Amino acid sequence: MMDDYALPFWIYLGVLAVFVGGAMKKILASHLGATPPLVAWLGATVLVERLWAFCLPAALLLLALLLGLACCLYAAARTGPTQNDADMHAPHGKAVLITGCDSGFGHAAAKHLDALGFEVFATVLDLSGDGARDLQRTCSPHLTLLQVDITQPQQVQQALLDTKAKLGLKGLWGLVNNAGVCVNFGDVELSLMSNFRGCMDVNFFGTLSVTKSFLPLLRQAKGRIVTISSPAGDQPFPCLAAYGASKAALNLLINTLRHELEPWGVQVSTILPSSFKTAHSSNHAHWERQHKQLLQGLPPALLEDYGEDYLTETKELFHRYASQANPDLSPVTETIVQALLSPRPQARYFAGPGVGLMYLIHSYCPFSLSNRFLQKLFLKKTLAPRALRKQSGFDLNLLNNNNNNKEEEEKLK
């Protein structure tokens, strides 16, 4: 019976099984909770339906399902998101430098790693600020605060000298590149060139400066580089072009470093968080300042084309999205620990719910569908730019006038 089926059937079978296995690989590594069993069942259902459409015999159908299951299990075994505690490296005595510890992920990570027994070097913008004082008050004497603006090479070099002086002959086990900024929000045409440069200065050039400066210490210890990036660096989130472009450049840099540093024994990982409440994200006054600066910086003609109400809606949508973000930062801090202590750290980690699903849709669905998903997930804009609304109104009036003229002509006839 099986001799009746040509080679293309077997090729189709193999390709479909690999597709399902690849999809399951992403799902099982994405922290989706109860979703994987559902998606696995849907995948198996699609597989059965396609094979049944080809009228394959029951034995071959069973073989296909077993092959798909084997692919899933193999992928899960190779890319499981966590490691057993017994396999993890011990944190005690390992030195880690974390950038951007005034607030957010950096602040939470500095506390968490200090509590685990790491020797933490935490960089802050302001040694007298609330974040720095909180770290001094709550952390152990093993934590060292360093005042560093990562866009200033002199301050980065001074931090390197201070770190070397305290470490002595010991190398640096981990560098956590966390410092980052979203200078502005809005459409590309509405974003000032200074906004793009501001994001690039911090998120890309600043991180590059710190990484290059501390690489000798990391190579000495055969340590780890862990970089907090963003899904906006891989996917076109509306109104985040300046931030996303800087993160895209950062992602490529980190991926290149991962290959180059492998011979040195330095492991490199990227963490992609979902939406969390960090820094100014939930501060309404912050969004108001951003909105005011945007209005003041726009040429009058451009403001007229887009309309102040269009910009106001964007601001309100950002504020609403940020206010609904997760205040619990532990998924990110725990992932940082995984990347620092795992014997075989992953190249890429998803931290928080929904990120894995987003990348699954981005990887396997048509661009039009994934783009629409992003727009519905992130900013659900209802207003079009003012010039387009006027144009639509003009077209509608023109259409109505044409219809009225035709009706008059019909009456005259």
Residue 25 banded pLDDT, cuts 50, 70, 90: low
pLDDT attached to residue 77? 41
pLDDT attached to residue 7? 55
Q: 290 versus 1: which is more confidently predicted? A: 290
Residue 395 banded pLDDT, cuts 50, 70, 90: low
Q: Rounded distance, CA 134 to CA 138, Å?
A: 6
Most confident of 24-33, 185-194, 337-346: 337-346
What residues pair up with 176 in beta bridges, in sequence order? 98, 226
> Does residue 43 have a pLDDT over 70?
no
Residue with tokens 């950002």: 318
Q: Are 47 and 16 in contact (CB under 8 A)?
A: yes
pLDDT attached to residue 321? 78
pLDDT attached to residue 407? 55
Query: What's the pLDDT tens digit per position in 136-150?
Result: 999 999 999 999 999
Q: Are 110 and 96 in contact (CB under 8 A)?
A: no
pLDDT attached to residue 359? 81
Tell me how far the alpha carbon of residue 92 is from its chain's centroid: 30
Q: How far does the chain reach from its first CA to its final CA, in angstroms?
A: 74
> Does residue 70 have a pLDDT over 80?
no
Q: Are 362 and 43 in contact (CB under 8 A)?
A: no
Query: Would you tell me how many other CB atoms lie within 10 Å of the CB of residue 357?
Result: 20
Helix, strand, coil percentages, rounded to 5, for the chain: 65, 10, 25
pLDDT attached to residue 399? 46
pLDDT attached to residue 6? 58
Q: Are 233 and 255 in contact (CB under 8 A)?
A: no
Q: What percent of the chain has pLDDT over 70?
A: 72
Q: Rounded distance, CA 342 to CA 83, Å?
A: 7
Measured torsion, CA atoms of residues 101, 107, 109, 110, in degrees rounded to the nearest 10: 70
* Domains by residue range for the chain, with CATH: 2-79 (no CATH), 86-377 (3.40.50.720)
Average pLDDT of 203-212?
98
pLDDT attached to residue 402? 54
Average pLDDT of 271-293?
78
Query: What's the pLDDT tens digit per position in 327-371?
Result: 889 999 999 999 999 999 999 999 988 888 778 777 777 777 777
Average pLDDT of 72-90?
54
pLDDT attached to residue 323? 74
Query: What's the pLDDT tens digit per position in 302-335?
Result: 989 999 999 888 888 888 877 777 788 999 999 9
Active site members: 243
List all residues 6 or more positions away from 76 whose beta carbon is below 8 Å from its beta carbon: 24, 25, 28
Q: Rounded distance, CA 184 to CA 239, Å?
A: 9
pLDDT attached to residue 58? 53
pLDDT attached to residue 198? 93
Q: Rounded distance, CA 137 to CA 107, Å?
A: 13
